[in-house]
């Protein structure tokens, strides 16, 4: 099957046994269910949503998300935005500042053909964007990024936010389109109580800042932020008008283990749609299998991936191309058997692969490109 083509219909594609490993698999039934669940959650809320595509880097999945009701998509970098636009996405927010005259020129060039917006947290950057936009005769939509507690990008001081918003609003080639307040530091906090407290603080801060802008007579526009880990909490709080969840489409071991709501033991309403299929390539000991997926197939920044085996085993990376599965008793896997492994962090695992092998009910339905793989600039 040619990468990027729709492939064959469900049930008549090649069986999984014919897939070369290691392979990045999507269980498309689960992917579709996750997208539908998000649409249902958001339909019951006055908030809008704009999924973050840094998770999947795929215009195909982005289009599935907008077809389900999302207002558009987010991406992290200009290079990702170009690929999304080329893949048919027509409303794109770049959630990191685009800095430098060369980058600004690339951004406004994209803005001549696609509906694109960008965040900014610096007056010098605003001047750079303004000059680039004026040079090609476009009006560039800019959102002021406010640091709501993450300590990454974002203006920290309330009067600095006001000054920057006034600067953008006064520009003939920039359009003050709103604010971004994303609290990424708490998305994966295993304690629901701490995630809730951190989200409340972030909302309070964003509300204070946007009130200051409104009191100064500035239009606030969209108030965007939030992620999968704080979704259930963001939906109950007032500061954001648009949510940016990314990981919900695939999930991973870390997100899958979060307590979802204040109910002890509550689990996320999204299931694991992503795995890496690996083959047993050595059986050196009775209780051990070596598989052909190591650091080049599975990321490690989120912790240890989880093999989906009938018997309990521990996973340990054994190099770039290998991992070791150690079973308590005899290893139930034979040489040549395959095993699916759930990544600990979906975003960084996806960026290791060129293609998704899309599987429905045990057969390969399509191959999708990880089109923005490596688009990190
Ligand atoms: C600015 C921004 N918004 C939203 C998200 C989505 O977060 P998640 O994948 O946790 O849903 C991220 C993820 O890193 C982000 O950086």
Q: Which residue has a Cα nearest atom 14 of ligand 1?
A: 184
| Residue 54 CA to ligand 1 centre (angstroms) | 8
Task: Scan for tokens 């109950």, then name that residue.
Answer: 236
| Residue 176 CA to ligand 1 centre (angstroms) | 22
Nearest CA to 255 out of 266, 273, 268 is that of: 268
pLDDT tens string 217-241:
999 999 999 999 999 999 999 999 9
pLDDT tier at 8 (50, 70, 90 boundaries)? Answer: very low
pLDDT tens string 240-276:
999 999 999 999 999 999 999 999 999 999 999 999 9
Q: Which residue has a Cα nearest atom 7 of ligand 1?
A: 227
| Residue 224 CA to ligand 1 centre (angstroms) | 11
| Residue 243 CA to ligand 1 centre (angstroms) | 10
pLDDT tens string 271-321:
999 999 999 999 999 999 999 999 999 999 999 999 999 899 999 999 999
pLDDT tier at 15 (50, 70, 90 boundaries)? Answer: confident
pLDDT tier at 12 (50, 70, 90 boundaries)? Answer: low
Residue 10 predicted with pLDDT over 60:
no
pLDDT tens string 332-365:
999 999 999 999 999 999 999 999 999 999 899 9
Ligand 1 pocket test, pick from 73, 77, 181, 182 with the greatest ligand atom count within 8 Å of Cβ, gives: 182
pLDDT given at position 242: 98
Looking from the CA of residue 228, the nearest atom of ligand 1 is 11
Higher pLDDT, 197 or 13: 197
- Paired strand residues for 155: 146
Distances in whole angstroms, Cα of residue 78 to Cα of each of 30, 74, 101: 30, 11, 13
pLDDT tens string 170-196:
999 999 999 999 999 999 999 999 999
How far is the C-alpha of 340 from the C-alpha of 1, rounded, in Å? 21
How far is the C-alpha of 131 from the C-alpha of 234, rounded, in Å? 36
pLDDT given at position 14: 77
Q: Are 201 and 239 in contact (CB under 8 A)?
A: no
pLDDT tens string 129-176:
999 999 999 999 999 999 999 999 999 999 999 999 999 999 999 999
| Residue 117 CA to ligand 1 centre (angstroms) | 17
Q: Which residue has a Cα nearest atom 16 of ligand 1?
A: 184
Distances in whole angstroms, Cα of residue 259 to Cα of each of 106, 229, 256: 42, 9, 9
Residues in the chain: 377
pLDDT given at position 9: 43
Looking from the CA of residue 231, the nearest atom of ligand 1 is 11
**Above pLDDT 90, what percent of the chain?**
94
R_g (Cα) of the chain, nearest Å: 22
Ligand 1 pocket test, pick from 81, 184, 199, 231 with the greatest ligand atom count within 8 Å of Cβ, gives: 184
pLDDT tier at 3 (50, 70, 90 boundaries)? Answer: very low
HSE, side-chain direction, 13 A CA sphere, residue 186: 25
| Residue 112 CA to ligand 1 centre (angstroms) | 27
Lowest average pLDDT, out of 1-10, 30-39, 243-252, 324-333, goes to 1-10
pLDDT given at position 176: 98
How far is the C-alpha of 118 from the C-alpha of 107, rounded, in Å? 9
| Residue 201 CA to ligand 1 centre (angstroms) | 18
Q: Which residue has a Cα nearest atom 1 of ligand 1?
A: 95
Within 6 A (CB) of ligand 1 lie 52, 54-55, 74, 95, 182, 184, 187, 227-229, 244-247
| Residue 338 CA to ligand 1 centre (angstroms) | 32
């Amino acid at each position: 099957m040619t990468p990027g083509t729709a492939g064959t219909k469900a049930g008549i594609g090649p069986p999984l046994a014919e897939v070369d490993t290691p392979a990045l698999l999507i269980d498309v039934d689960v992917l579709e269910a996750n997208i539908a669940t998000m649409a249902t959650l958001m339909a019951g809320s006055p908030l809008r949503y704009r999924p973050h595509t840094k998770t999947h880097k795929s215009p195909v999945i982005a289009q599935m998300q907008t077809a389900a009701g999302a207002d558009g998509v987010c991406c992290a970098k200009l290079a990702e935005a170009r690929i999304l636009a080329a893949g048919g996405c027509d409303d794109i927010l770049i959630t990191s500042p685009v800095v430098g005259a060369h980058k600004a020129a690339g951004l406004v060039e994209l803005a001549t053909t696609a509906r694109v917006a960008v965040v900014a947290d610096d007056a010098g950057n605003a001047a750079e964007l303004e000059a680039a936009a004026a040079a090609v005769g476009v009006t560039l939509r800019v959102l002021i990024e406010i640091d709501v507690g993450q300590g990454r990008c974002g203006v920290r001081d309330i009067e600095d936010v006001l000054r920057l918003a006034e600067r953008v609003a006064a520009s003939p080639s920039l359009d003050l389109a709103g604010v971004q307040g994303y609290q990424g530091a708490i998305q994966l906090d295993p304690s629901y109580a701490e995630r809730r407290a951190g989200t409340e603080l972030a909302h309070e801060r964003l509300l204070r800042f946007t009130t200051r802008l409104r009191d100064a007579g500035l239009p606030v526009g969209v108030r965007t932020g939030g992620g999968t880990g704080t979704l259930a909490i963001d939906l109950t709080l007032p500061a954001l008008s648009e949510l940016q969840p990314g990981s919900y489409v695939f999930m991973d071991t870390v997100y899958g283990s979060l307590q979802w709501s204040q109910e002890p033991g509550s689990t996320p309403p999204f299931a694991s749609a992503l795995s890496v299929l690996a083959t047993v390539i050595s059986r050196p000991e009775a209780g051990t299998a070596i598989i052909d997926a190591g650091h080049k197939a599975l990321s490690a920044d989120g912790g240890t991936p989880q093999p989906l085996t009938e018997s309990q085993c521990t996973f340990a990376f054994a190099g770039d191309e290998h991992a070791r599965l150690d079973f308590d008793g005899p290893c139930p896997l034979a040489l040549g058997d395959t095993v699916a492994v759930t990544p600990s962090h979906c975003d960084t695992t996806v960026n290791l692969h060129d293609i998704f092998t899309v599987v429905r009910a045990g057969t390969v339905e399509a191959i999708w490109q990880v089109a923005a793989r490596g688009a990190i600039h």
